[in-house]
Structure 1
């Protein structure tokens, strides 16, 4: 990119970050006020509370505060969408997080960390297909919902293990995220963790992940439930972790050869994401959220990664987010792990 392009990009990112990180600013709007300037915000907030089953006391402080966060979110959406003018660009708007402050959102959902990974130095895969998606091969489990627990790091790891198990010839089976949450002692449960540390724990201990039905998800940290080595489950033999910065084509090859990949990204702007391909509004400097990269599509005007999130199917593209390939958008290539069973 030439110098002028870099300066424009820097200005955009700085402006977006300033907006995303600015302090939130709402008050309970009385019925008579909805006829005036607050009309649109009030009507949309009431619609939002019905859609997402919020039950706030009509004139309580909680409702007062949530309406304020909601109104700030609508302003933020307009700003973010002003940069998304190209076809297929990401769109930002109302979703299940629109009544959270930006700090609440970060504290609840963006709790992953990444360990420094070595630069990838392996060979590139020749003759990559223009499109590849592990969902087409029945190797990806359905989208899950971490709820109000910072367990994205565990969901991404378990997602990768589930897919590796399916690629090996088994049916896709939901394995226990709660087991990883409770037992991966080098991580902090709902307070956050690192996919690499979780994978290293699985490799070193030989712990077998049991079915989710035997160790169900509770969206809170608990006491580790141990199983005997004779108990049925799926164990991790090894894993690789690399930085694919500047080598996203090689990352495409790894996805093709190894299966879905865990990645730690900057997802601050994802609070407002509704769909489309993210090309802006992300840094590659602050890793805070773990996801599962399940495919890519380079057949259209904007080549992009296909990424499964753990915020339920009401978020994004039915639980998925698309991220432009090239430029390390959202830090998608900074810390990427593949699993071996």
Structure 2
């Protein structure tokens, strides 16, 4: 009787702990997600890469030093849906999808993308620049470990205390310090080189040849950096008044296969922390969502963008939101 009881308990324990997840990046996982018929659909994004490589892209160190929290002022009536691309059409960076390449620099990209947008928004489109991910990735010593991980809040602090120069996409020759890590073929079979984890480039405090300004003259500074409350109304108000914000969340293996709809975690192991730019909100099929720009190029997800469930702190998306205001 005792043996039967132990056997029964072992089976019961396994029911709760021995859950088998489909293999990451597999057709089995895609089928599992789509058959579940939840709020989103899956498809092939990453091909011919190992899961360890994808894990290295999730370079955000979660739960770092928290910036002082600033509330965006009195509550206002907010629309049911909002898209910063439509609200500020004269700010082209809001629509841009960048590519972090073979480097865990998402923490830097989420920051400089939102900073670029906010500079344009504050100047009503008169100053439209691409702030350099290369500059903060390679030169901010307090931000973390470069391509091997960093803290979003420290990137915003660096903008305030040290300033950031301009710099566009790899090979663009736009701005003072364009990105030097090439896009690689981590999504579909194509013409880009294969993906291998990348060392952090060295800090070069000099603009590329032919750029009209010196490195110090090209600096853009923030006035202050701060955390935004995890309350969704506060995040929405911040977005509505001042523009896109940076947020960090936990990536699970199923997220890699996102194609459309409103993502919520369904299956798969935890891979790490990831930082992105939040630029809007809405509701789809009755499910509230945040509209988000990723930094894995336009052939990932929904042309580089994705939606994630809003209002329930899905994967921690509302817990670590940071922002800042530019100098006039």
TM-score normalised over the length of structure 2: 0.74
- Deviating more after overlay: 117-126 vs 322-331: 117-126
The structure-2 alpha-carbon separation of the partners of 1:288 and 1:124, relative to structure 1 and needing over 3 Å to count, comes to: farther
Q: CA deviation at 1:94?
A: 0.9
Instruction: Find the aligned partners of 1:116 and 1:93 in 2 and give their Cα distance.
Output: 36
Instruction: Find the aligned partners of 2:291 and 2:267 in 1 and give their Cα distance.
Output: 16
Instruction: Find the aligned partners of 1:143 and 1:133 in 2 and give their Cα distance.
Output: 15
Q: CA deviation at 1:210?
A: 2.3
The structure-2 alpha-carbon separation of the partners of 1:121 and 1:259, relative to structure 1 and needing over 3 Å to count, comes to: closer
Task: State the match for 1:215 in structure 2.
Answer: 177
Any idea what the Cα deviations from partners look like across 1:64-120, whole Å, max 9, x if unmatched?
A: xxxxx86xx11111222233x24xx2111211x13333333112x111113254796
- The answer (yes or no) to whether the contact 1:195–1:290 under 8 Å persists in 2 is yes
Alignment RMSD: 3.0
Structure having the larger proportion of residues in strand:
2
Task: State the match for 1:259 in structure 2.
Answer: 243
- 1:162 equivalenced with 2:116 (yes/no): yes
Q: CA deviation at 1:221?
A: 2.0
Any idea what the Cα deviations from partners look like across 1:10-37, whole Å, max 9, x if unmatched?
A: xxx9888x627xxx6xxxxxxxxxxxxx
The structure-2 alpha-carbon separation of the partners of 1:222 and 1:334, relative to structure 1 and needing over 3 Å to count, comes to: same
Task: State the match for 1:110 in structure 2.
Answer: 58
Q: CA deviation at 1:330?
A: 2.0
- The answer (yes or no) to whether the contact 1:98–1:271 under 8 Å persists in 2 is no
Instruction: Find the aligned partners of 2:27 and 2:17 in 1 and give their Cα distance.
Output: 20
Instruction: Find the aligned partners of 1:14 and 1:78 in 2 and give their Cα distance.
Output: 23
Which of 91, 112, 115 is the aligned partner of 2:41? 91
Task: State the match for 1:19 in structure 2.
Answer: 21
Instruction: Find the aligned partners of 2:229 and 2:78 in 1 and give their Cα distance.
Output: 20
The structure-2 alpha-carbon separation of the partners of 1:226 and 1:14, relative to structure 1 and needing over 3 Å to count, comes to: farther
Task: State the match for 1:239 in structure 2.
Answer: 225
Task: State the match for 1:100 in structure 2.
Answer: 49
TM-score normalised over the length of structure 1: 0.71
Any idea what the Cα deviations from partners look like across 1:134-191, whole Å, max 9, x if unmatched?
A: 1111331410111111111111010011011110223532221111111011221111
- Any unmatched runs of 5+ in structure 2? 1-15, 169-173, 182-198, 207-213
SS in 1 for 2:225: strand
Q: CA deviation at 1:249?
A: 2.1
Equivalent positions of 1:176-255 (< 5 A) are 176-186=132-142, 187-205=144-162, 207-212=163-168, 213=174, 214-219=176-181, 221-226=200-205, 230-244=216-230, 247-255=231-239
The structure-2 alpha-carbon separation of the partners of 1:230 and 1:185, relative to structure 1 and needing over 3 Å to count, comes to: closer
Task: State the match for 1:148 in structure 2.
Answer: 102
SS in 2 for 1:19: coil
Which of 290, 305, 317 is the aligned partner of 2:290? 305
Any idea what the Cα deviations from partners look like across 1:289-326, whole Å, max 9, x if unmatched?
A: 00000111147522211000000001111100101112
Task: State the match for 1:38 in structure 2.
Answer: none
SS in 2 for 1:266: strand
Equivalent positions of 1:53-68 (< 5 A) are none
Matched pairs, number: 272
- The answer (yes or no) to whether the contact 1:124–1:249 under 8 Å persists in 2 is no
The structure-2 alpha-carbon separation of the partners of 1:121 and 1:231, relative to structure 1 and needing over 3 Å to count, comes to: closer
The structure-2 alpha-carbon separation of the partners of 1:272 and 1:248, relative to structure 1 and needing over 3 Å to count, comes to: same
Structure having the larger proportion of residues in helix:
1
- The answer (yes or no) to whether the contact 1:265–1:330 under 8 Å persists in 2 is yes
- Any unmatched runs of 5+ in structure 1? 1-12, 25-68
Which structure is richer in relative contact order (CA contacts within 8 A, separation 6 or more)? 2
